[in-house]
């Protein structure tokens, strides 16, 4: 599977090769082509770095998701956290929904979790400077069966987490005090 690596300095790599965005004529089309690539982050990437990465994909975000880039960028850059947080985790979870008594559907959905820091951890108080990590571990618990596995996060998953899930957390005041 092809991999997109996003670094804190704005560099992006596809399968280990540096991509020069200044040489790409149609950036919107280019970002559409990246949506299904597995994503990796450099160890020092922050939410600010990731929001900056998505600047060139504003039209993609507008066409696919319910939030606009500028709304989320403004929230991220101006929001002070009510307490210190250690990181923002992006992961996937299983959901099982019953359509009727004989029909069940299983979904694998991208989600976020803001991890508060404890007394021994260094934390941050501004949303833009919070570190981001991808957790590939996944656990399915259903009808007394537990399956532990790993999954990949693609660029579309990251977009959903930042431009829908994070928006809900911020707008509905779901940050832990």
- Give me the residue spans of the domains in the chain: 3-171
Provide the pLDDT for residue 44.
Answer: 93
How many C-beta atoms lie closer than 10 Å to residue 51's C-beta? 21
Segment-wise mean pLDDT, segments of 10 residues, the chain, 177 residues: 90 94 90 94 93 88 82 87 90 86 86 89 89 92 85 94 87 61
- pLDDT (0 to 100) of residue 92: 94
For tokens 């911020």, the residue is: 170
Report the pLDDT value the prediction gives residue 170, as an integer from 0 to 100: 79
Report the b/e string of 144-154 with b at 16+ CB within 10 A: eeeeeeebebb
Predicted confidence at residue 177, as pLDDT, reads: 42
Predicted confidence at residue 175, as pLDDT, reads 61
Q: What is the structure's pLDDT at 94? A: 86
pTM for the full model?
A: 0.87
Half-sphere exposure of 73 (CA within 13 A, CB side): 14
pLDDT at 14: 96
**For residue 152, what is the DSSP state?**
-
């Amino acid at each position: 599977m092809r991999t997109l690596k996003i670094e804190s300095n704005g560099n992006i790599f596809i399968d280990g090769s540096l991509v020069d965005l200044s040489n790409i004529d149609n950036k919107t089309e280019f970002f559409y082509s990246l949506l299904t690539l597995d994503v990796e982050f450099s160890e020092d990437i922050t939410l600010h770095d990731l929001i900056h990465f998505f600047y060139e994909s504003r039209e993609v975000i507008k066409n696919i998701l319910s939030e606009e880039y500028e709304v989320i960028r403004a929230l991220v850059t101006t929001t002070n956290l009510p307490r210190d947080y250690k990181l923002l985790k992006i992961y996937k979870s299983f959901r099982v929904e019953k359509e009727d008594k004989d029909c069940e559907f299983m979904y694998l959905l991208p989600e976020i979790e803001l991890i508060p820091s404890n007394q021994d951890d260094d934390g941050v108080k501004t949303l833009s400077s919070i570190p981001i990590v991808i957790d590939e571990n996944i656990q399915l618990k259903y009808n007394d069966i537990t399956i532990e596995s790993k999954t990949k996060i693609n660029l579309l998953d990251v977009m959903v987490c930042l431009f829908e899930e994070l928006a809900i957390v911020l707008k509905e005041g779901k940050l832990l005090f």
